[in-house]
Amino acid sequence: MDKRYDAVIVGTGAAGLYAALNFPESVSVLLISKRELPLSNSSLAQGGVACVLDTVHDNYKLHINDTLVAGKYKNTLSAVEKLVKEGPADVLRTKDLGVDYDLNPDGTMCKTLEAGHSRHRIVHHKDSTGKAIVDALIEQVRKLPNVDILENALLYSMHKTLGGFYLSVLKDGKSLYYGCNYCLLATGGIGRVYQYTTNSAIATGDGIAFAYMLGAKIRNLSRVQFHPTAFAAEANRERFLISEAVRGEGAVLLNCNGERFAHNYDKRGELAPRDVVSNAIAREALRTNSEKFYLDITHKPADFIKSRFPMIYAKCLEEGIDITKEWIPVYPCQHYLMGGIDVNLHSETSIDGLYAAGECAHTGVHGANRLASNSLLEALVYSRTAAEDITRKLQKYGRKPLGLEPAHRPITGKKMPSGFRSQIRAILQDTYFVLPKPEKYDESYKKVEEIIKQLFSESYEISSDLVEAKSIAIVASIILDEVREGQS
């Protein structure tokens, strides 16, 4: 064993970083980042953080109700209440930690409106709120004397013992080995299970796969959110998001004929929840026999657009679209996961000592469909909760002996054949997208199961390709099995 810690955090998005900041200095922590610290889905979050800071014009009941409506009342009410009531304090703490939220002249935080919200309650930093949060938290985490940071390190094996966990990590071509009493998985989403996603390159569901292999309960993995307005760049697998806030500021959706259509499918039009708008686009595509759709915000002053959405303006300009003068080509693509590793209100999984927070966790907050800008709030609230609960247990029980170390598997082996990940992505994109194809569920499930057999039957060389292929295969298998059994 290279080193032993009280707690290991796997993942360095908002959840992993904020958890690290909520441990006292008496707790030794290892923070494992699959790539560089700033690379995470959290960094890509644009719109902002939903929270009730203005109790004169807003209240907890309204935020709770908006969350339940968007989630089709399949949410866990106690989890939503915890999120909404505790969230504002966490948001204000991130401000104290250096997050540069946009402010009004009187010093209060600017609040915008997004789809599904009944009040202006989304605080933000321009159109790159996630990056502002992650960058500020990274700066603070680097100062912590009790936290070691391991970047460009791939977790490839987890073993549960009576007293905790042993984790095998690949870094710079070498295997490192760590022990801990408690482990927090904050590994983000599953976007790379699909051909097209707004997620970062590292979103391959690794934490969910490791938890599943340890025997943890996984719930509602088939509750996948497709964002209606990703930039329709045909060549790129990773598609950048045209934030909900653009529609919140008045952008309208147009079909291939330049006609507004969203109100034909839902009276809330462009400001309906994400799944409703995605469904409207998919159905309109069938009606018009075209996948050409656009967002139009050209009626707003150019200076306002550039100031409010500088990142979106710049990224669209790189693609040859000036959004102050031209329509933005958009189409739905995979964006977020509402299900994941099942946890309770303390962020505990069904495995003793194992916690999960952020997108990889299923708290029950989002129900069947996430309300815009509740994701960063959930990451903050439930990662802080995990850190607090682990700290309580360490104070109560102390450092427990870890137990016997398992046998080490060599990292050498034959090279994994290429093509497994591409096959899985094509299967999910075709079978389980905005308008699913139930007639293909059984056949697709069998194909993925066959890939899993091939991946696990051979002693391939340990590499990121192998780990990520196994992860997305396991995730795809769980999703397809759930929809086959009608569990979604």
Paired tokens of 284: 């309109």
Give burial (CB, 10 Å; 0-12/13-18/19+) of 88. buried
Of the listed 121, 192, 274, 370, which one is catalytic? 274
Paired tokens of 379: 């990451």
How far is residue 357's CA from residue 184's CA, in Å, rounded to a whole number? Answer: 7
Closest CA to 41 of 147, 170, 197: 197
Sequence-ordered alpha helix ranges (H) in 117-219:
129-141, 206-214
Residue 274 a catalytic site member = yes
3-class DSSP state for residue 356?
Answer: strand
How far is residue 372's CA from residue 49's CA, in Å, rounded to a whole number? Answer: 9
Rounded to 10 degrees, the C-alpha dihedral 433/113/202/3 comes to: -140
How far is residue 465's CA from residue 468's CA, in Å, rounded to a whole number? Answer: 5
How far is residue 355's CA from residue 386's CA, in Å, rounded to a whole number? Answer: 7
CB atoms under 10 Å from CB of 404, counted, come to: 10
What value, to the nearest 5°, has the Cα angle with vertex 93 and ends 92 and 94? 90
DSSP-derived secondary structure for 250-310:
T-EEE-TTS-B-GGGT-TTGGGS-HHHHHHHHHHHHHHHT---EEEE-TTS-HHHHHHH-H
Contact 230, 281 (CB under 8 A): no
3-class DSSP state for residue 385?
Answer: helix
Closest CA to 187 of 207, 213, 170: 207
How far is residue 406's CA from residue 1's CA, in Å, rounded to a whole number? Answer: 11
Contacts from 387-392 at CB under 8 Å and sequence distance 24+?
387/7, 387/19, 387/20, 387/22, 387/23, 387/184, 388/22, 389/346, 389/347, 389/348, 389/355, 390/6, 390/7, 390/23, 390/27, 390/182, 390/184, 390/355, 391/23, 391/24, 391/27
Spell out the residues 6+ positions from residue 324 whose beta carbon is closer than 8 angstroms to its own.
Answer: 298, 302, 305, 306, 313
DSSP-derived secondary structure for 90-105:
HHHHHHHTT----B-T
3-class DSSP state for residue 168?
Answer: strand
Paired tokens of 197: 């996603």
Catalytic positions = 274
